[in-house]
Chain A
Amino acid sequence: MVTTNCFHCGNEINKKDEVVFDEKKFCCTGCKTVYEIFSQNDLTCYYDFQASPGATPQDINGKYEFLDDEKIIDKLLEFQEDTTHIVSLYIPHIHCSSCIWILENLQKLKQGIGSSQVNFPEKKVRISFNPEQTSLKEIVYLLSSIGYEPYISLENFDEGKKKVDRSLIYKIGVAFFCFGNIMLLSFPEYFEVEEYWINQYRGFFRWLIFALALPSFIYSASGYYVSAWKSIKSGLLNIDIPIALGIVVMFVRSTIDIIFDLGQGFFDSMTGLIFFMLLGKLFQQKTYDFLSFERDYKSYFPIAITKLLPNGGEIAVQVYDIEKGDRLLIRNQELIPVDGILISEKASIDYSFVTGEAVPIEKKSGDKLYAGGKQQGKVIEMEVLFSVSQSYLTQLWSNDVFQKKVNQQHKTITDKISRFFTPALLALAFLSFFYWIFIDTATAFNVFTAILIVACPCALALTAPFTLGNVLRIMGNRKFYLKNALVVEQLAQVDTLVFDKTGTITTNKKTAIVYEGALLTSNELQLLKNTLRGSNHPLSRRLYDFIPEFERKNVDDFEEVIGKGIFATIDNHKIKLGSSSFVKNLNESTHKKTKVHVEINGIYKGSYVFNNQYRKGLEQLFESLAKDYNLVVLSGDNDGERAILTKMLPSKTTLVFNQKPEQKLAYIEQLQQNGKNVMMIGDGLNDAGALAQSNVGLSISENVNVFSPACDGIMDASQFDKIGFFMKYSKNAMKTIYMSFGLSILYNIVGLSYAVTGNLSPLVAAIIMPLSTITIVSFVTIMSNFYAREKK
């Protein structure tokens, strides 16, 4: 069997849908149209950079009407002059060099577009166009027609642009400038040769070095002073205090040395120290940005909704302008932005966003519609009950729990150790100073500075960020994304795991289908197959793939009642497929199982039962986790699955059913009050409160672009059975940190013993310090990579 792939988008081609054009095969007319557009404009280079780089253009009829609204355009544009408008659009489909190429050649496709520039890491394109020749709406239509539909969301609406913070880069630039030049200028003195000319110019060199050290000392290191000062004011002693103190002491000591001609000073070591510390910070920041997590819930909702005017007209309004009593028009696949009542006769709403259930819920006129649902089917009309801020979802989100920033509650190890470290170090330094001052003043100063310098708080400051940064990166490579480094530490402390059932331990993708009822002949199956072909309903699609291949038959009459079922006539046979009420068989509440009933020629045949399939590896995962953790399964469903779960999972597992979102939150709170450290693993947005309440909230997602802002980490569903590995890895990460602390303490003890006994000149101390930093960093990187390799 030869499976051909579409030349444009790479998807498999269904023989019946195949379109051949210009000797190339496409899966649909959409892809062929995009190819046509490209070849007519000499843009077929698009296909040279990557195979099948395209995407099928989606139908966007009417979706972008709101781009006619002046107010909205105003907010979206970055720059507005008479003949030039500039807009920055986020395009999720950007994924390869072909995308960059075509998006930067947009001016060939449309008159009026001046130029465009792609920012690949952010998946944005910045288009500059002439509003007199084309409009924003036309550009968006163009992008959609070639398969690069932009994603326009409320995010673009926030007043005041976020200012990009580049201060760290400036500081590094200045620090390196000073460091490099001071090193060069220090060369003459390094060789300690008592030549005449050196003595002549020594003063010049030294004061020049002093002048160069000033910008680094004052500007580049300012972050540390500010942080140290803040922590002193709040009574805590954090890791930045010894660093700030060390830098200040070095500076003062070196200045004194120069003024009184006691020596060369340590400006080279000081600026070197500042530079390397800032570099470490930059590395950390880049790692965090890479796994960036700043999504406001606002970006889930479409920015403008179609409002129906009393006289029957339609206008586009912004979400925030929706008021109680407004009538809204919701189209196919659009999100319902607010709570309201359904006016249209019926609607089929997909609440997978909220409940995790992909099966759409049927609503009839007068039913309440909740925000966050996705409408499927014909357009519907609804009346608004609450404006955006009061909706159910925002209520859950504005639950106090969300506003708590977990980092404040959690004291990281570095701060813990620095509580002892800093006072101990200061005490030691002063003691030694006083001891030596009675013996020899010069040595006393030497000893004081040597102690502060060699003590290398830098190892303490860098260990945690480097280890955790590396761990975050490695986990990210394995599709396990954490919000920030603190989560790794918290993971290591968890002792109870709470799993949501639907969507977390069950998968929406594989649904086992079982037929119950009178056996169907192959003729009847053929009828069913042909009937299902015409329906786009998720259950129809799955059932269609489930029933084996049959010859095509002509369907004489076809009618799909949205959310209910399908009615078709083939060869004079009447086929009815659908819910129990549609087939008019029983009025049983199908709450326990999802079923599609079959009726042929008026005779009820049976039903297809859709059983949720549990994720692969679930049993082994729970087995291995049960050894170290308490396990709980919380479910919003009824307890129809209790028997199965009790068999599958270890006996210690607690199973709780029928939990509403608030009850899940309360359950976790209860566990925490009993002293447990809880990690919640869920997926739907209505877990959000529980996810935030737990010490660590993990969200499993089939499609990593969709997640809840409350969670501390996202895991791709394919990695579900590796949860055990990640938990162990986080513990190993902490082990690595402790080990490297141990190593650096060893360093410190050895170095300090030399320093206290007066055998360590500050110069040697200053050389040892960067050396120890490098050793610690390499050690930490090697160990974290080693642990990651252990269980692949």
Chain B
Amino acid sequence: MSVIYILIVISIVVAIVFLVAFIKAVKGGQYDDDYTPSVRMLFDDELVKNKSNKLVQTEKQKSI
């Protein structure tokens, strides 16, 4: 059962890693704005495809 020393220590270390990650995230200002990301993730990316299509066409025209 003495393996429990190692196991507990490992679990504490993992927990500390997460705590450090949390502190780093807060320091980086990630949680200063908690509303906008919820809206941002609902935006679509379709425009990128359209633009690249258009570019392809104009290049074709140029080559003609």
Contact = CB atoms under 8 A, between A and B. Distances in A.
Interface of A: 42-43, 45, 97, 100-101, 104-105, 108, 117-122, 164, 166, 169-170, 173-174, 177, 180-181, 185, 197, 200-201, 204, 208, 212
Contacts of A117: 36
Given A166-B26, A174-B19, A200-B1, 17 more contacts: A45-B47, A97-B39, A100-B39, A100-B40, A119-B32, A119-B36, A120-B35, A120-B36, A120-B39, A121-B36, A164-B32, A170-B23, A173-B19, A173-B22, A177-B15, A197-B1, A212-B12
A591 B55 CA distance: 68
Given A42-B50, A100-B40, A119-B36, A173 B1 contact: no
Contacts of A101: 43
A535 B23 CA distance: 60
A204 B39 contact: no
Nearest to A118: B36
Contacts of B43: 101, 104
B15 to A, nearest CB: 6
Interface size grouping (class) on chain B: 20 to 34
B23 A173 contact: yes
Interface in B38-54: 39-40, 42-44, 47, 50-51
A121 B40 CA distance: 13
Contact of B44 (A45, A166, A197): A45
Nearest to A197: B1
- The A contact surface, by secondary structure, is helix
Contacts of B8: 185, 204, 208
A121 B1 contact: no
A118 B32 CA distance: 12
Contact of A169 (B4, B5, B31, B39): B31
Contact of B51 (A42, A121, A212): A42
A166 B1 contact: no
A169 B26 contact: yes
Nearest to B50: A42
A173 B51 CA distance: 45
23 contacts: A42-B47, A43-B47, A45-B47, A97-B39, A104-B43, A118-B36, A118-B40, A119-B32, A119-B33, A119-B36, A121-B33, A164-B32, A166-B26, A169-B31, A170-B23, A173-B22, A177-B16, A177-B19, A180-B15, A197-B1, A200-B1, A204-B8, A212-B12
Q: Which 10 A-B pairs have the closest CB atoms?
A: A120-B36, A119-B33, A177-B19, A97-B39, A120-B35, A173-B22, A169-B26, A121-B35, A100-B39, A197-B1
Given A181-B15, A197-B1, A166 B27 contact: yes
A197 B42 CA distance: 54
A323 to B, nearest CB: 40
A164 B29 CA distance: 9
Contact of A181 (B12, B36, B39, B47): B12
A1 B32 CA distance: 49
A318 B22 CA distance: 42
A283 to B, nearest CB: 14
B10 to A, nearest CB: 13
A151 B4 CA distance: 61
A164 B40 CA distance: 24
B57 to A, nearest CB: 14
Contacts of B5: 204
Contacts of B44: 45
A173 B36 contact: no
Contacts of B15: 177, 180-181
A122 to B, nearest CB: 7
B47 A201 contact: no
A204 B47 CA distance: 60
Nearest to B27: A166
Nearest to A166: B26
Contacts of B50: 42
Contacts of A42: 47, 50-51
A491 B38 CA distance: 38
A173 B26 contact: yes
Nearest to A108: B47
Nearest to A173: B22
Contacts of A173: 19, 22-23, 26
